[in-house]
Chains A and B, each alone.
Chain A
């Protein structure tokens, strides 16, 4: 029988060599830089034909809004999307990483990815970092086995639920879900409920704000509704306008158009000598 020793993390993982140095620097007065967090309200629910994910779009850096319109619903596979709350870098990195792993796995198996695959990849990564990778995720998708919705916590535990909320605005959003969710919602009812829950987070939680993103995933189809609702429009625009003072010297006025997309045509002939 194999030895059961699992020292976490055995291969790779964090190296704590610089911790003493950091402590010394902090004592000398160096303030650690604050990282970009997504205060966030993220939600997901299972409806009649699949799953609907929702998220707000505010990214905060301490008390400041760093990004008023960031994307928190990340692509994992054509049939699987993942909302991320917590440290923005961690959610981006971990969802990108698992998305690549899923793509390789799809090449390997020749099949559509399953939600439980993404779930296991994410949970084992997060568990091995013992909660230091601060990513709280709502993973949803539809595969051959049906629609699935899971929540994944930074320490690596997962829950499978018919409706879920995460992030600082999760309590506000959960209040909406608990009162209005029922099984077998139609697509329109589901989207409306998700938007309502996110709005509840946007208006009642300081860490969430700006717009509502929604993603509807059904068998064989996904609709990514970026900025589905814009409940916080900019109402005041200064009449004076924004321009440089007349004394400013204009050096160069040049407009460089963006390059056009290049089409890659597949199935060409193989190169021959």
Chain B
């Protein structure tokens, strides 16, 4: 009984699956919605894709507290930067600010992040900032505990210059695959699409996600033979 109570006091962490992909004209960010405290799901509909500026969003994973506070700090710095610069901040600046905070506090923070957005100079860009505070600009990136199950999938399916529709479908399919396999990911799939026309948020409840093989009804299964009538005993 004690272990259950200890679990409820465990730090709030987001097991998570987070994804960021670029497509021809912008980026699509995707995430699941499960926040766990030990073995208990503290929030089954959390929003892990947080806004930093009008055109830059961040996907959070790892410690919920650390990632929330880090996003708040970076949003504040970016706000100041936008005022001083006189125009919208670029995705590169946003990502670098996130990296600076993450790297300089690496001993105290435990959070992996994906920064994605669109600006008029470079277009759609995705930056991955994993645990130690590295900054890596990539055409697509995945993070969180559920990402382990997606490396092979992306190697197979990824291609440059997808359309918005293809990219969104890819992200939703990937997150739902990870949800099927990773215990720490679950709930709904949220996506945020950012391009020159602005930002569009989409929401895919659990029952609209595709089922994967062990969740489907058994069809033409060899197990059907078990329920069939037993054969006549042999008579010599």
Partner of A168, one of B8, B43, B104: B8
Contacts of B64 in A (CB 8 A): 153, 155, 157
The reply to whether the CB of B105 lies closer than 8 angstroms to some CB of chain A is yes
Interface flag for B40 (CB, 8 Å):
yes
**A131 with B40: CB separation less than 8 A:** no
User: A44 in the interface, Cβ–Cβ < 8 Å?
Assistant: no
Interface residues of A (CB under 8 A from B): 4-6, 8, 86, 123-124, 126-127, 130-131, 134, 151, 153-159, 161, 168, 170-171, 207
On chain B, the residues within 8 Å of A161 by CB distance are 43, 45
Q: Does B12 contact A (CB under 8 A)?
A: yes
Closest to A3 in B: B104
8 Å CB contact of B35 from A130, A134, A159: A159
CB neighbours (8 Å) of B8 from chain A are 168, 170
Which residue in chain A gives the minimum CB-CB distance to B40? A171
B9, CB-defined interface residue at 8 Å? yes
A-B residue pairs in contact (CB < 8 Å), sample of 28? A4-B100, A6-B101, A6-B104, A6-B105, A8-B105, A8-B108, A86-B9, A124-B69, A127-B69, A131-B65, A153-B11, A153-B12, A153-B42, A153-B65, A154-B11, A155-B11, A155-B65, A156-B68, A156-B69, A157-B11, A157-B12, A157-B63, A157-B64, A157-B65, A159-B42, A159-B46, A161-B43, A168-B5
Most buried by B among A86, A123, A155, A168: A155
- B69: which A residues are within 8 A, CB to CB? 123-124, 127, 156
Interface of A is mostly: loop
Q: What residues of B have a CB within 8 angstroms of the CB of A158 in the complex?
A: 68
Q: Once bound together, how far apart are the Cα atoms of A151 and B68, in whole Å?
A: 14
Q: Would you call A134 and B43 a contact (CB within 8 A)?
A: no
Report how many residues on chain B are interfacial, defined by Cβ distance under 8 Å. Answer: 23
Contact A155 B108 (CB under 8 A): no
Considering the complex, which residues of chain B in the window 35-66 have a beta carbon less than 8 Å from any beta carbon of chain A?
A: 35, 37, 40, 42-43, 45-46, 63-65
| Complex contacts, B68 vs chain A, CB 8 Å | 123, 156-158
Q: Say yes or no: B65 contacts A5, CB within 8 Å.
A: no
**Ranked 9 nearest A-B pairs via Cβ:** A157-B64, A157-B65, A155-B65, A156-B65, A157-B12, A159-B43, A153-B12, A155-B11, A4-B100
| Most chain B CB neighbours (cut-off 10 Å) among A4, A123, A124, A134 | A4
Query: Chain A residues near B73 (CB, 8 Å)?
Result: 6
Residues of B within 8 A of A4 (CB): 100-101, 104
Q: Could you tell me if B11 and A131 are in contact, using CB atoms closer than 8 angstroms?
A: yes
- Shortest distance in angstroms between A178's beta carbon and chain B's nearest beta carbon? 9
- Complex Cα gap A161–B47 (Å): 11
Task: Tell me the complex Cα distance, A6–B46, Å.
Answer: 27
Residues of A with C-beta under 8 A to B12:
153, 155, 157
Give the chain B neighbours of A157 by CB distance below 8 A: 11-12, 35, 63-65, 68
- Chain B contact residues, CB within 8 Å of chain A: 5, 8-9, 11-12, 35, 37, 40, 42-43, 45-46, 63-65, 68-69, 73, 100-101, 104-105, 108
Query: Which residue of A is nearest B45, CB measured?
Result: A161
Query: A154's closest neighbor in chain B, by CB?
Result: B9
Distance between Cα atoms of A97 and B74 in the complex (Å) = 27
Chain A residues with Cβ below 8 Å from B46 are 159
Docked Cα-Cα span, A4 to B99, in Å, equals: 11
Q: How far is the CB of A230 from chain B (nearest CB, A)?
A: 27
Report Cα–Cα, A124/B70, bound state, in Å: 11
**In this complex, what residue of A is CB-closest to B4?**
A171
Instruction: Return B186 CB to nearest CB of chain A, in Å.
Output: 14
* Cβ contacts under 8 Å, B5 to chain A: 168, 207
Known A123-B68, A134-B9, A170-B8; judge A153-B104 contact (CB<8 A).
Answer: no
A31–B40 Cα gap in the complex (Å)? 31
- With A127-B65, A155-B12 already in contact, 11 other A-B pairs whose C-beta atoms are closer than 8 Å: A123-B69, A124-B69, A127-B69, A131-B11, A134-B9, A153-B42, A154-B11, A157-B63, A161-B45, A170-B40, A207-B5
Residues of A close to B45: CB separation below 8 A: 161
A155 to B, closest residue via Cβ: B65
**Smallest CB–CB gap between A139 and chain B, Å?**
15
* B105 / chain A contacts, CB cutoff of 8 Å: 5-6, 8
By the criterion CB–CB under 8 Å, are B37 and A153 in contact? yes
**Minimum Cβ distance to chain A for residue B9 (Å):** 7
User: What is the distance, in angstroms, from A127's C-beta to the closest C-beta of chain B?
Assistant: 5
Q: Which residues of A contact B40 (CB under 8 A)?
A: 170-171
How far in angstroms is the closest Cβ of chain A from B71? Answer: 11
Q: Are B63 and A155 in contact (CB under 8 A)?
A: yes
> Could you tell me the distance in whole angstroms from the C-beta of B49 to the nearest C-beta in chain A?
14
* Chain B: minimal CB distance from A30 (Å): 23
